[in-house]
């Protein structure tokens, strides 16, 4: 059963074990609630036999025992369902986040942030709610109902059939709704993701939308998505309600069949009055919990979509490798490397070159030529489809990604900053760095020039994603992180694109001091950035079409020379 629960509801081993305990707690609580029914049955028999007066003490003790057992089992059920579920929910979210951390960057190219957020937060929350309110209650109620119904067949099998027959039919009705519910739930989930994307995109692009007077049109389209989500939400609820209400109505016939069958058998003399009374008591208690159980079953049916979405993340293939990484230097070598995206688009066909330690290697070429892809392959954000990528003579696919990244400092074209101080944003490059080390790295990246104008200097909060800073200022913080990390390999992806000429000159000067005994690979379009490089690799049509010093490539009069000539004309 543990394996079944673990696979069906994406649980950990501990979560599946706790779920079984929760189911047992629900069974115990339901059976405890039947004790007053038994006590009432015995009391009625004694009252009719006129022996009640002599047994008052026993009934008072029975009432006390019933209350105590109901209280104890209720507390057990609460702890087993709610507390254990919240622990499992935390475990699930952490495991999903850890899984995402170990997945290759190509995975994120296929899934957008809104979808992943919905999986980690929304789907995990749905499973959390089901784990505390629905799954244990459903299985527990079904087991306790079976335990209650079995003795009825030994008491009077005809009456037992009259009492039990609606239950399996009602369960089958709700089970048959699974495909319909999954269809509606899938559509609802897809629309919800679209809605979240639209809202997030509107917030991020509101400035551009207003500047082009496009805000009204975008909101009109977003309103359409909201109405579609509302419509699909209604259909999703209605799709489940039709089957649940039908099955609940069927349960009502159980009391009628118990009364009619019992009356007939009573007249024939096949059933005693107390037996008839017992079945009426059990029927009155049996169907009400089953109504809630059918609702829980419908919710569990709809839960499958959430489980599948989380499993789609958990089942993805991870990047693995050895934590032992002992390179002979830090040269980066591409040996006939090729790479294609998931959509079949080939970016690199056959790339071979070496970026040597102690040199600056500039990657240039037309847009879409694979410059960024090359840098990502070096850091193993992706793995090459063919050929090899080596760092210090070691194939990067044999190295654990986190171990490999410990020797890289990377400055992306799109900078990500946090709603914290300038000091702490730079400290991301090295968590245990002292303030003096942070300030030294900031000075090398020319951050002093703008930080001195901030209200609290390096202790100034810079807003969400550095909203209080300009593009060039944000880029310099990112460069300071790379300086602070002081890794032997530095990747700069259009790192100076947002800097003016003066600041670019200062950063290039800092870079020249930084690269001693380090491998620097720069992605650049501007020839000013390339001019100070020791080596230039021109990527075009999926290959390293040209490579050499800037002067050598200018003399060749090839792609690089034409690019330089075009920029000089601008």
CATH code of 77's domain: 1.20.1560.10
Residue 211 lies in a domain: yes
Based on the domain organization, do 343 and 305 belong to the same domain? no
Residue 152's closest CA among 279, 241, 243? 279
Question: 480: which 2 tokens?
Answer: 């300071």
pLDDT greater than 80 at residue 302: no
Based on the domain organization, do 541 and 513 belong to the same domain? yes
Beta strands 332-340; 519-523: pairing state? unpaired
Residue 217 lies in a domain: yes
Q: What is the mean pLDDT of the chain?
A: 84
Residue 323 lies in a domain: no
Pick the last residue of a domain from 245, 279, 314: 314
Sheet architecture: strand order including 535-540: 394-395, 386-391, 332-340, 346-355, 543-548, 535-540, 360-364, 519-523, 489-493, 408-411
Based on the domain organization, do 299 and 366 belong to the same domain? no
Count structural domains, the chain.
2
Q: What integer pLDDT is reported at residue 459 of this predicted model?
A: 92
Beta strands 543-548; 535-540: pairing state? antiparallel
Contacts (Cβ under 8 Å, ≥6 apart) of 480: 426, 429, 438, 441, 442, 444, 445, 447
Based on the domain organization, do 279 and 374 belong to the same domain? no
pLDDT greater than 70 at residue 510: no
What backbone phi and psi angles, to 5 degrees, belong to 338? -135, 150
User: Which is more confident, 538 or 129?
Assistant: 538
| pLDDT classification of 350: cutoffs 50, 70, 90 | very high
- Cα 296 from Cα 291, distance rounded (Å): 9
Residue 325 lies in a domain: no
Based on the domain organization, do 497 and 352 belong to the same domain? yes
**Residues above pLDDT 90, as percent of the chain:** 17
pLDDT digits (tens, 9 = 90+) for 153-172: 888 899 999 989 998 898 88
Contacts (Cβ under 8 Å, ≥6 apart) of 232: 184, 187, 188, 191
Q: What integer pLDDT is reported at residue 506 of this predicted model?
A: 64
Pick the last residue of a domain from 314, 348, 380: 314
**Residue 564: which CATH number?**
3.40.50.300
Instruction: Find the range with the poorest average confidence among 109-113, 203-207, 432-436, 527-531.
Output: 109-113
User: Which is more confident, 291 or 406?
Assistant: 406
pLDDT greater than 90 at residue 313: no
pLDDT digits (tens, 9 = 90+) for 364-375: 988 878 888 898
Residue 320 lies in a domain: no
pLDDT greater than 60 at residue 511: yes
Residue 456 lies in a domain: yes
Q: What integer pLDDT is reported at residue 300 of this predicted model?
A: 83
Pick the last residue of a domain from 281, 314, 347: 314
Based on the domain organization, do 266 and 337 belong to the same domain? no
Based on the domain organization, do 300 and 374 belong to the same domain? no
Identify the helix (H) or strand (E) that includes residue 230: helix 215-268
Based on the domain organization, do 360 and 221 belong to the same domain? no
Based on the domain organization, do 242 and 336 belong to the same domain? no
Q: What integer pLDDT is reported at residue 570 of this predicted model?
A: 53
Half-sphere exposure of 156 (CA within 13 A, CB side): 21
pLDDT digits (tens, 9 = 90+) for 385-395: 899 999 999 99
Based on the domain organization, do 304 and 342 belong to the same domain? no
What is the number of residues in the chain?
Answer: 570
Mean pLDDT (whole number) for 539-555: 89
Please give the residue range of the domain that contains residue 388.
Answer: 332-569
pLDDT greater than 90 at residue 54: no
pLDDT greater than 90 at residue 353: yes
Residue 326 lies in a domain: no
CB atoms within 10 A of CB 431: 6
Instruction: Find the range with the poorest average confidence among 188-197, 216-225, 257-266.
Output: 188-197
Question: 222: which 2 tokens?
Answer: 């977003």
Mean pLDDT (whole number) for 210-235: 86
pLDDT greater than 60 at residue 213: yes
Spatial contact of 63 and 311, defined as CB atoms under 8 Å apart: no
pLDDT digits (tens, 9 = 90+) for 520-540: 898 877 776 787 788 999 998
Based on the domain organization, do 262 and 367 belong to the same domain? no
Residue 294's closest CA among 137, 487, 510, 461? 137
pTM for the model: 0.67
Based on the domain organization, do 372 and 491 belong to the same domain? yes
Spatial contact of 564 and 390, defined as CB atoms under 8 Å apart: no
Residue 392 lies in a domain: yes
pLDDT greater than 80 at residue 104: no
User: Which is more confident, 563 or 113?
Assistant: 563
Residue 87's closest CA among 97, 98, 95? 95
pLDDT greater than 80 at residue 119: no
| pLDDT classification of 427: cutoffs 50, 70, 90 | very high
pLDDT greater than 70 at residue 569: no
DSSP string, 199-216: HHHHHHHHHHHHHTT-HH
């Amino acid at each position: 059963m543990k394996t079944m629960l673990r696979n069906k509801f994406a649980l950990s081993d501990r979560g599946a074990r706790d779920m079984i305990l929760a189911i047992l707690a629900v069974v115990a609580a339901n059976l405890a609630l039947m004790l007053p029914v038994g006590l009432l049955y015995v009391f009625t028999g004694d009252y009719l036999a006129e022996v009640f007066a002599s047994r008052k003490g026993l009934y008072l003790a029975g009432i006390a025992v019933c209350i105590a057992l109901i209280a104890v089992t209720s507390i057990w059920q609460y702890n087993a369902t709610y507390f254990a579920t919240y622990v499992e929910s935390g475990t699930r979210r952490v495991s999903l986040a850890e899984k995402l951390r170990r997945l290759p960057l190509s995975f994120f190219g296929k899934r957008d942030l809104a979808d992943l957020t919905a999986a980690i937060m929304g789907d995990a929350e749905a499973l959390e709610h089901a784990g505390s309110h629905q799954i244990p209650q459903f299985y527990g109620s079904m087991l306790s109902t079976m335990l209650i119904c079995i003795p009825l067949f030994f008491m009077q099998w005809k009456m037992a059939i009259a009492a039990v027959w609606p239950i399996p039919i009602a369960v089958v009705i709700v089970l048959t709704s699974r495909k319909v519910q999954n269809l509606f739930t899938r559509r609802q989930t897809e629309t919800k993701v679209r809605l979240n994307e639209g809202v997030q995109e509107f917030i991020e692009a509101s400035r551009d939308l207003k500047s082009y007077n496009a805000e009204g049109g975008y909101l009109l389209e977003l309103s359409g998505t909201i109405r579609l989500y509302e419509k699909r939400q209604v259909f999703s609820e209605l799709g489940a309600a039709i089957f649940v209400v039908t099955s609940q109505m069927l349960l009502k016939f159980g009391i009628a069949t118990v009364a009619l069958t019992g009356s007939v058998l009573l007249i024939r003399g096949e059933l005693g009055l107390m037996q008839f009374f017992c079945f009426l008591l059990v029927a009155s208690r049996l169907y009400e919990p089953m109504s809630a159980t059918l609702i829980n079953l419908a919710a569990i049916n709809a839960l499958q979509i959430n489980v599948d979405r989380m499993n789609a993340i958990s089942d993805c293939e991870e990047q693995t490798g050895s934590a032992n990484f002992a390179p002979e230097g830090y040269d980066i070598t591409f040996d006939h490397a090729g790479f294609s995206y998931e959509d079949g688009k080939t970016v690199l066909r056959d790339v071979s070159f070496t970026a040597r330690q102690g040199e600056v290697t500039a990657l240039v070429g037309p847009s879409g030529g694979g410059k960024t892809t090359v840098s990502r392959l070096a850091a193993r954000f992706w793995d090459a489809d063919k050929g090899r990528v080596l760092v210090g003579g070691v194939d990067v696919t044999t190295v654990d990604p986190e171990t490999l990244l410990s020797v890289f400092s990377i400055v992306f074209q799109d900078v990500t900053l946090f709603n914290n101080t300038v000091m702490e944003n730079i400290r991301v490059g090295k968590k245990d760095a002292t303030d003096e080390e942070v300030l030294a790295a900031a000075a090398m990246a020319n951050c002093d020039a703008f930080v001195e104008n901030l209200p609290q200097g390096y202790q100034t909060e810079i807003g969400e994603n550095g909203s209080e800073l300009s593009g060039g200022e944000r880029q310099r913080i990112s460069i300071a992180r790379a300086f602070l990390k002081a890794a032997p390999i530095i990747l700069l992806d259009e790192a100076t694109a947002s800097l003016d000429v003066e600041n670019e000159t200062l950063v290039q000067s800092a870079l020249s001091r930084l690269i001693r005994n380090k491998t620097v690979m720069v992605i650049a379009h501007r020839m000013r950035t390339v001019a100070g490089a020791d080596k230039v690799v021109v990527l075009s049509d999926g290959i390293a079409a040209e490579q050499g010093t800037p002067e050598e490539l200018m003399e060749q009069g090839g792609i690089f020379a034409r690019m330089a000539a075009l920029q000089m004309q601008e």
